[in-house]
Chains A and B, each alone.
Chain A
Amino acid sequence: MIDVMFSSLGALLTSPQTMGLMLIAVLIGLIVGATPGIGGRLSIALAIPFVFGMDMTQGAVFLLTMHAVNGTSGQISSIMFGVPGDGDDAATTIDGYPMAKKGEAGRALGASITASGVGGIIGAGVFAIMIPVLEPVILAFSPAEFFLLAILGITFIAFLAGGQNIFKGMIVGLFGMILATIGMDPQTGTTRYAGDYLFLWDGVSLVTLVLALFAVPEMITLAVKGGSIASVSMENVKYSYKQIFQGVMEVPRHWFLALRTSIIGAMIGMVPGLGGSAAAWLCYGHAVQSSKTPERFGHGAVEGVIAPETASNAKEGGSLLPTLFFGIPGSSGMAVMMGAFLILGIQPGPAMLTQHLDLVWTLIWALVVGNLIAVTFLLFITRWVAVLTFINASMLVPFIIVMVAIGAYVNEGQWENLVILVMMSAVGYAMLRAGWPRAPFVIGLVLGRIAEESLHKALDLWGYSFFVRPLSLVLIGMIIATVGFAIYKSRRPSVLDNLKVTS
């Protein structure tokens, strides 16, 4: 394994084309992360048309790098203006914004950017360490276990949906799974739901469905609601490079905290469905609890910036593990990423260990190198990246809609996909308006195909007795426990009900 590890690094660093693509991916990822209205999931979906024709490794490196650095620039508006972009960034805001208000914006930004990079690198390291540990388990899995793993992945949907939406999340996941059955049945060769429409015989285009469910509804909402813009002026947030350097040095000064929260973040990333904000919040809480002076938190404690940032970036490395080896996306972003991997010809599963270990290591190194490049860039260009927060996002809408239409078409070169795009966009927009979760759809769609394939293989090998194999029984137990826990979680009062503020 050691030789593959170093040869992959050598191949990555000595390929000008791959390094060039990584640079482009880092720049796009940083810009997308800082621009309001465009999330990580959407950026991967929009980038898929660009990877057509690319080599499998280069395409995967491009997409993963772009996704991995999204969060690094996402916290700029949280710290500078107190406006969190999403749930992950909100934890950083608690101390980042008070630091900026005290005239320490540079220190907070330096610490958060460095912590983010360090988290990304340690997350990749944790993933790498887990490979030899999990190798025997992964290789022991047969189609029977992979079928049950797919079902387990779908039950994790309950966590993705969360709160009162657990059953809605499951319905949407099953909706994705049933749409995955459209096309030629792999077992009998029967065409299901496709009629005489030849373009449906290979199934509904994954890219088209992802774009329809995520990109179009978001863009229409953005165009309807108007552009959002931070309400404070850049002039109020002044800082020097000296301050940024002081912030950078805060991370080695709190190295043990950064290490702990990175490992926690990576571990959380490995549990599908827990999501990025869970990692950030848990590690913020850990920083508060482990501090000798917890009263400083919320008033501008730099540890309150370091902890959530390391955690939320470290989870990317962690969530790659179930995605690549078990075919269970660790998050909705990874679900879209997995769809992109399938399009590139990368089939997640044990074959990643036996046949594509070089690709796995290349992706790990891509996370490391990508984060290093992103941190270096961002430390110097933060001031200019921050300007993106002020972009009137509705100006971006037509350009993204054009990208969506091109993406839906070029995937299979079929004009009919544009009709599917319109129909499913209407469904996606209705789901958005009705407050239904959409992320489980992608997971159901991707896992549906894997589940059916594995089920047929398992039935051919063992008949229905595959359900009583020891490993199958463990997985069945996990499925039952997951569903039970999800229902229990949905019945607990929310944080708003529990809140007792002691101001």
Chain B
Amino acid sequence: MSLSRQSMTLFMLAVFVLMVGVAMTYPAGARFMPLTVGIPGIGLCLLQIFLDLKRQPDGERQIDEMREAEAKAAQVVGHEVHFGHAEVIDAPADEKETIRREVIVWAYFLAFIGSILVFGFYVSIPVFLITFLKERAKASWTRAFAMGGVASILYYLVFAKGLGVTLYNGVATGWLLDRLAG
């Protein structure tokens, strides 16, 4: 899922072009602001594409924030400064592994939101928490059930009872309950 240098710019350009195009169909007063913003947006996207094409690939460099901070510190105090580095546990070994994990995590997220739309928050929250904790965070079943269960109850108490928020029940929950009730 490594993005090419221009894909984001092209996406932005497409958004601006589309929105400016649609804005042309609005009355003068309504289209003024979208055009005021959209036309410079298109111009900047084209400029960015030009800059990206002009830049040599080897001239591009990812500056690590902490390395930059170490360099700044060295400049101020006049000698080398090295910060500690966080040890990352369970870090992906390569880009292929990163992509595999991205697909899995996105699948969890999409499944969770999809589940809310179908079954509502009350069903989806505990299922998502327990599944994610067990499968992704490698918690034991006991721990996943305990943490997921307690957190679900807390969310219910805080939002539904404490703040009086009515959470979405999903399109299928009501129908299912009606069917079960006969």
A residues contacting B by CB (< 8 A) are: 36, 49-50, 52-53, 78, 81-84, 86-87, 90-91, 93-94, 97, 163, 167-168, 170-172, 174-175, 177-178, 181, 185, 187-188, 190, 192-193, 216, 220, 223-232, 281, 284-285, 288, 294, 297-298, 392, 394-395, 397-399, 401-402, 405-406, 409-410, 413, 415, 418-419, 421-422, 425, 427, 430-431, 433-436, 448, 451-452, 455-456, 494-496, 498-499, 501-503
Query: Considering the chains assembled together, what is the distance between the CA atoms of A228 and B92 in angstroms?
Result: 12
Whether A298 lies near B137 (C-beta < 8 A) is no
Contacts of B9 in A (CB 8 A): 168, 171
Known: A394-B137, A495-B75. A224 touches B102 (CB 8 A): yes
Contacts of B105 in A (CB 8 A): 220, 223-224
Main secondary structure of the interface of B (DSSP, over half): helix
Query: Considering the chains assembled together, what is the distance between the CA atoms of A495 and B7 in angstroms?
Result: 29
Known: A225-B91, A496-B63. A402 touches B26 (CB 8 A): no
Query: Considering the chains assembled together, what is the distance between the CA atoms of A314 and B121 in angstroms?
Result: 41
Contacts of A395 in B (CB 8 A): 133, 137, 139
B residues contacting A by CB (< 8 A) are: 1-3, 5, 7-9, 11-12, 15-16, 19, 22-23, 26-27, 29-30, 32-34, 37-38, 40-41, 44-45, 47-48, 51, 62-63, 65-81, 83-92, 98, 101-102, 105-106, 108-110, 112-113, 116-117, 121, 125, 128-129, 132-133, 136-137, 139, 148, 151, 155, 158-159, 163-168
Whether B27 lies near A188 (C-beta < 8 A) is yes
Q: How far is the CB of B21 from chain A (nearest CB, A)?
A: 11
Whether B37 lies near A36 (C-beta < 8 A) is no
Query: Considering the chains assembled together, what is the distance between the CA atoms of A193 and B79 in angstroms?
Result: 56
Query: Considering the chains assembled together, what is the distance between the CA atoms of A300 and B50 in angstroms?
Result: 48
Known: A87-B69, A190-B26, A220-B102. A501 touches B136 (CB 8 A): no
Known: A223-B101, A496-B71. A84 touches B137 (CB 8 A): no
Closest 3 CB pairs of A and B: A82-B84, A298-B77, A226-B90
Query: Considering the chains assembled together, what is the distance between the CA atoms of A222 and B99 in angstroms?
Result: 14
Query: Considering the chains assembled together, what is the distance between the CA atoms of A237 and B65 in angstroms?
Result: 26
- Other CB < 8 Å A-B pairs besides A410-B167, A422-B113, 5 of them? A86-B65, A90-B66, A298-B77, A397-B136, A433-B2
Whether A220 lies near B78 (C-beta < 8 A) is no
Known: A220-B109, A397-B137, A436-B8. A178 touches B15 (CB 8 A): yes
Contacts of B80 in A (CB 8 A): 501, 503
Closest to B148 in A: A398
Known: A175-B41, A448-B37, A502-B78. A226 touches B92 (CB 8 A): yes
Candidates A168, A225, A433; contact of B48 at CB < 8 Å: A168
Query: Considering the chains assembled together, what is the distance between the CA atoms of A498 and B5 in angstroms?
Result: 26
Q: How far is the CB of B61 from chain A (nearest CB, A)?
A: 9
Whether A398 lies near B132 (C-beta < 8 A) is yes
14 A-B residue pairs with Cβ-Cβ distance under 8 Å, sorted by A, are: A91-B69, A167-B44, A170-B44, A190-B26, A229-B86, A229-B87, A392-B137, A395-B139, A398-B129, A402-B112, A406-B155, A410-B165, A430-B7, A494-B63
Contacts of A409 in B (CB 8 A): 116, 121, 167-168
Q: How far is the CB of B115 from chain A (nearest CB, A)?
A: 10
Known: A84-B69, A394-B137, A397-B137. A53 touches B34 (CB 8 A): no
